[in-house]
Amino acid sequence: MADTFTIKQGDTSPALARVLETAQGPIPLEVGDRVTFSMRRPYGGPVVVDRQPCQITPEGVVVYYWADTDTALPGLHEAEFQITRADGAIETVPNGGYLVINVVGAVA
């Protein structure tokens, strides 16, 4: 079952916060690692958020802070995080699908 995050159209809060995991468990993040966030419309649709930087907390939680333009288009979106290790290795999470972002249309 896909992980789903719901936010209202035009909102910038709450931030998207996740512990990045694979089937083997949480992914340890090291000093020097960089994590970015990307989001697009489903089925290869247009990219809405393109590799924007995330904050990594001391506890290893990855946090993406929304811009108002990120949530301007209501509907379902596919998203992923990309970890770039200090040595240049790259890992994309989730690696077996996508995080689903549900942007609910605003009334006004």
Whole-number pLDDT of residue 1: 45
Walk along the chain (108 residues) and give the pLDDT tens digit of each residue: 468 999 999 999 999 999 999 888 999 999 999 999 999 999 889 999 999 999 999 999 999 999 999 999 999 999 999 999 999 999 999 988 999 999 999 998
Closest CA to 2 of 82, 102, 99, 103: 99
Structural domains in the chain plus CATH codes: 4-104 (2.60.40)
CA angle 9, 80, 101 (to 5 degrees): 25
Residue 48's closest CA among 98, 92, 93, 86? 98
